[in-house]
């Protein structure tokens, strides 16, 4: 028997920790910060899951136009300008158009793709400016705008 049992008191578990250990700013199992303590790690406030916190490069005008001229029928300029939905649509329209040329319907699809390609030339400058404005806002929010 220990001396604590003789006096009728439960054994003393040892010194109790005061606060949280350095480098541990979250509660166990929940991942939530302890009340009154900022988190010790993680992204800055205002950034959700999956958001980057490093500076992003601006999109180059020459590269966008070269993608449009040489690979526009495949939607390469749309992928470059982060319009993946339009890029996938153009890629599918191009492939489907070439497959259906055997039954002559494909020529209609390829003509529609050509019209879309010409319209993209008219909208390219504005789209490029919008993408670079979003990149600037992101870089400014993390303090890395130049």
Evaluate whether residue 102 is within a structural domain. yes
User: What's residue 70's pLDDT?
Assistant: 97
Evaluate whether residue 10 is within a structural domain. no
Residue 133's nearest CA partner among 65, 82, 79 is 82
Evaluate whether residue 71 is within a structural domain. yes
pTM above 0.75, yes or no: no
Give residue 72's domain range.
61-141
In angstroms, the CA 146 to CA 136 distance is 8
Evaluate whether residue 32 is within a structural domain. no
- pLDDT tens digits, residue range 67-107? 999 999 999 999 999 999 999 999 999 999 999 999 999 99
Whether the pLDDT of residue 57 is over 50: the answer is yes
User: Encoding tokens for residue 89?
Assistant: 């649509």
Alpha helices in 38-105 (DSSP H): 61-71, 76-80, 84-99
- Indicate the number of domains in the chain: 1
Whether the pLDDT of residue 65 is over 90: the answer is yes
């Amino acid at each position: 028997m220990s001396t604590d049992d003789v006096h009728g008191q439960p054994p003393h578990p040892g010194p109790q920790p005061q606060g949280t250990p350095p480098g541990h700013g979250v509660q166990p199992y929940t991942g939530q910060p302890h009340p009154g303590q900022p988190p010790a790690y993680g992204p800055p406030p205002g950034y959700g899951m999956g958001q980057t916190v490093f500076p992003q490069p601006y999109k180059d005008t020459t590269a966008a136009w070269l993608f449009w001229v040489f690979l526009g029928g495949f939607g390469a300029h749309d992928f470059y300008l982060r319009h993946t939905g339009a890029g996938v649509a153009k890629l599918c329209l191009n492939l489907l158009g070439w497959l259906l040329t055997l039954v002559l319907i494909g020529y209609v699809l390829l003509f529609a793709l050509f019209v879309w390609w010409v319209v993209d030339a008219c909208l390219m400058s504005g789209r490029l400016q919008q993408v670079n404005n979003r990149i600037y806002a992101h870089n400014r929010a993390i303090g890395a705008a130049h």
